[in-house]
């Protein structure tokens, strides 16, 4: 424990592949989130190779500095799986053969109609004095090893095995060590820059202990992560985040589109479903991304009827019946063409709404008058049409994403204003 009485907790991910440029440990993000929820922080993360001597050295150092050590991976049946062996050596404890574990592993293979390969016998050896954590999703048992009022928790590497074992068997045991309660809330924002968001809520940065606010910026989207702590109850932690989230929502109003993790296209889908409305799209520079995002939502066939990707001018003229003269006079990237695209696809599809995007995604194709990033987004409804002129920054893919985000958001704002 450190001077403040907090447990020192560390995570060690084992595997030489995690020390190459190809793979990255992501299990630790999940473990961190779940452990944070018990009011505990992670002090250190280590990624170690399969080398036995290195592993023993690494585990010995960990024993000195931490109270709780979670290891990930290296529990498999092959020669390069050495976590078990290394922890036993670092603790100076024997590996003991457990008949009942061998039995379980053999059963698992029998269910799959294969006989157990002899290498798997290795997984039936466990560290003396350890508690076994059953693996419902694979052959490698996990271990809970106590020593000198400290704990090693050995978890398998495959994410589904690790998560199942952690939820079922580690979390209940960790509750005894709980140092508090954490509540988390994420507000998602569209239509504001990071600096604008920050300036609107800068005086709301919590000063009290037990409440944290983090602003994360992504292309076309800002997230505000709120974390509340309480030593005594989850309710108190939740009240803290809820109170702050209400203050933030009062400031940011309709720019907040979600407080429950939903994507913009999901929020829009719910609004369309609620109204029994339908939608059609006409895309130029986004090339289909808008329709792709809309149809990523299960059940979108209830409201998304059709779209056109009118990439060439000919397509704009022939598929949507926009007059050649209009395209020639104003150019394909213009308010006039965007408007017509939205109106015509709505008429064609006989949908409640039409969304259209035309712009220059780059890297080529920009001019002084119409630079890369210039994008018109249009929304047509029964009695009207509205067009926004945008100048987006970023590379081709980011400009495409920002364009689709803006189009989705135009319709979302239209639908919530009608409430």
Query: DSSP 3-state assignment of 158?
Result: coil
CB atoms within 10 A of CB 389: 12
- Which residues in 59-118 contact a copy of itself (CB under 8 A)? 61, 65
Q: C-beta of 348: minimal distance to a copy of itself in Å?
A: 8
If one asks whether residue 33 binds a copy of itself (CB under 8 A), the answer comes out as yes
Asked whether 192 and 222 are in contact (CB, 8 A), the reply is yes
- For a copy of itself, the binding residues in 280-319 under the rule CB under 8 A are 281, 283, 285-292, 294-296, 298-301, 304-312, 314-315, 318-319
Token pair for residue 414? 């239209």
The answer to whether the CB of 50 falls within 8 A of the CB of 80 is yes
Determine how many CB atoms are found less than 10 A away from the CB of residue 276: 9
3-state secondary structure of 344: helix
Q: Is 36 in the site for a copy of itself (CB under 8 A)?
A: yes
Q: How far is the CB of 51 from a copy of itself (least distance, A)?
A: 8
What sign does the CA torsion over 313, 314, 320, 322 have?
positive
Report the alpha-carbon distance of residue 272 to residue 397 in Å, rounded: 27
Taking contact as CB under 8 A, which single stretch among the options 17-25, 114-122, 133-141, 188-196 is the one that binds a copy of itself? Answer: 17-25
Q: Does 245 bind a copy of itself (CB under 8 A)?
A: no
Here's the x/- map for a copy of itself, 195-234, by CB under 8 A: it reads as -------------------x-x--------x---------
Contact pick of 116, 145, 267, 349 for a copy of itself (by CB under 8 A):
349
Terminal-residue alpha carbon distance, the chain: 54
Nearest-approach distance from CB 397 to a copy of itself, in angstroms: 6
User: For a copy of itself, which residue of 244, 362, 392, 407 counts as binding (CB under 8 A)?
Assistant: 362
* Distance separating alpha carbons of residues 197 and 194, to the nearest angstrom: 5
**∠ CA 373-297-275, rounded to 5°:** 95
Among 38, 42, 108, 200, binds a copy of itself (CB under 8 A): 42
Contacts of 219 (CB under 8 A, 6+ apart): 394, 398, 401, 402
Rule CB under 8 A: say whether 7 interacts with a copy of itself: no
Which segments of 145-297 does DSSP mark as H helices, in order?
159-165, 171-174, 194-201, 234-252, 264-275, 289-294
Q: In the complex, what is the shortest distance from the CB of residue 88 to a copy of itself, in angstroms, rounded to a whole number?
A: 21
Please list every residue from 387 through 416 that binds a copy of itself, using CB under 8 A.
396-397, 400
Binding site for a copy of itself (CB under 8 A): 18-22, 24, 26, 29-30, 32-33, 36, 41-49, 51, 54, 57-58, 61, 65, 214, 216, 225, 281, 283, 285-292, 294-296, 298-301, 304-312, 314-315, 318-319, 348-349, 361-365, 396-397, 400
């Amino acid at each position: 424990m450190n001077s403040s009485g907090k447990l020192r907790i560390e995570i060690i991910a084992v595997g030489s592949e995690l020390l190459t440029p190809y793979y990255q440990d992501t299990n630790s993000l999940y473990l961190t989130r779940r452990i944070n929820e018990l009011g505990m922080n992670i002090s250190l993360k280590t990624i170690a190779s399969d080398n036995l001597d290195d592993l023993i050295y690494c585990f010995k150092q960990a024993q000195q500095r931490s109270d709780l050590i979670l290891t990930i991976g290296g529990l498999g049946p092959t020669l390069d799986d050495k976590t078990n062996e290394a922890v036993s050596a670092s603790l100076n404890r024997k590996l003991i053969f457990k008949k009942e574990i061998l039995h379980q592993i053999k059963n698992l293979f029998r269910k799959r109609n294969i006989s157990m390969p002899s290498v798997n016998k290795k997984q039936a050896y466990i560290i003396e004095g350890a508690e076994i954590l059953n693996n419902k999703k694979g052959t490698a048992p996990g271990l809970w090893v106590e020593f000198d009022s400290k704990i090693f928790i050995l978890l398998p590497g495959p994410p589904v095995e690790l998560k199942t074992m952690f939820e079922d068997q580690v979390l209940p045991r960790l509750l005894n060590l709980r140092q508090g309660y954490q509540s988390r809330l994420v507000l998602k924002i569209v239509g504001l820059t990071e600096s604008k968001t920050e300036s609107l809520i800068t005086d709301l940065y919590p000063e009290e202990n037990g409440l944290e606010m983090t602003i994360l910026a992504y292309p076309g989207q800002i997230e505000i992560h709120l974390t509340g702590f309480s030593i005594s109850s989850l309710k108190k932690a939740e009240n803290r985040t809820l109170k702050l989230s209400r203050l933030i929502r009062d400031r940011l109003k309709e720019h907040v589109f979600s407080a429950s993790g939903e994507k913009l296209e999901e929020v829009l889908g719910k609004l369309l479903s609620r109204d029994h409305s339908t939608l059609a799209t006409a895309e130029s520079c986004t090339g289909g991304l808008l329709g792709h995002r809309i149809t990523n939502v299960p059940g979108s066939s209830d409201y998304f009827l059709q779209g056109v990707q009118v990439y060439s001018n000919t397509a704009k003229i022939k598929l949507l019946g926009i007059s050649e003269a209009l395209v020639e006079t104003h150019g394909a990237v213009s308010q006039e063409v965007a408007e017509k695209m939205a109106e015509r696809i709505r008429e064609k599809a006989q949908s409640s709404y039409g969304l259209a995007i035309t712009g220059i995604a780059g890297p080529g194709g920009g001019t002084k008058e119409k630079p890369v990033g210039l994008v018109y987004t249009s929304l047509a409804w029964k009695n009207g049409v509205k067009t926004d002129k945008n100048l987006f920054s970023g590379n081709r893919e980011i400009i495409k994403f920002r364009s689709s985000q803006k189009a989705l958001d135009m319709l979302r704002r239209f639908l919530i204003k009608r409430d």
